[in-house]
């Protein structure tokens, strides 16, 4: 059958589609849901764990508990890329804040890995996800301030993270432009 989901970036559907390929019965749907929930759980747990370990006060964890509502967990258990988008944007925000405020030794840290992984998964989740990541990055840089931005510009780790995210974002935006992902409907208009 025709569906506008066929216009979306294929990463989510290739991963969750393994469930129906491995078990071509109705149980494959449950496996697909488990595969989707696994990615959501990994990024939520990693982001919360990093937040818990890096926070000096309980307020960031309290804010996370208000942000990550029960609906986040519900959406995380269905076949919908919204949960990936929520979980990875949360993880990218937490790790991005940690990277922007890092004043420690100049070595690769967990927050760099989480920022790279969560941002790359985020930008391939939906057509508007690169815009969400860009808005979050601008907000984090504003909060960090000019002094920290100068330090980040000279930091090789930041350039490695930015290069990985940039390459993945270029692929994602290319997919959107070629396939018309942000068009709402089943049949693409003649302009696509």
Which residues are CB-contacts of 28 (< 8 A; sequence separation ≥ 6)?
A: 19, 20, 21, 22
Give the pLDDT mean for 101-106. Answer: 78
pLDDT tops 90 at residue 185:
no
How many CB atoms sit inside 10 A of residue 92's CB? 28
Distance CA 176, CA 66 (A): 32
pLDDT tops 70 at residue 1:
no
Mean pLDDT over each residue of the chain, to the nearest integer: 86
Confirm if 112 and 101 have CB atoms less than 8 A apart: no
pLDDT tops 60 at residue 81:
yes
168 or 58, which is more confident: 168
3-state secondary structure of 79: coil
Confirm if 38 and 16 have CB atoms less than 8 A apart: no
- Residue 52 C-beta-side C-alpha neighbours within 13 Å: 7
């Amino acid at each position: 059958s025709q569906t506008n989901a066929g216009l979306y970036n294929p990463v989510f559907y290739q991963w969750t589609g393994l469930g129906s390929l491995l078990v071509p019965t109705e149980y494959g749907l449950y496996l697909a849901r488990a595969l989707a929930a696994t990615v959501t759980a990994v990024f939520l747990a990693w982001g919360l764990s990093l937040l818990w370990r890096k926070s000096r006060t309980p307020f960031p964890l309290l804010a996370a508990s208000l942000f990550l509502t029960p609906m986040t967990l519900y959406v995380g258990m269905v076949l919908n890329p919204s949960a990936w988008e929520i979980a990875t944007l949360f993880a990218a925000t937490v790790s991005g804040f940690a990277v922007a405020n890092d004043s420690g030794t100049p070595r690769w840290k967990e927050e760099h890995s989480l920022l790279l992984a969560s941002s790359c998964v985020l930008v391939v989740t939906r057509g508007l996800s690169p815009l969400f990541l860009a808005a979050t990055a601008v907000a984090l840089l504003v909060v960090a301030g000019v002094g920290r931005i100068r330090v980040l510009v000279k930091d090789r780790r930041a350039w490695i993270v930015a290069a990985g995210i940039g390459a993945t974002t270029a692929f994602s935006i290319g997919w959107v432009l070629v396939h018309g992902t942000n068009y709402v409907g089943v049949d693409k208009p003649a302009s696509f």
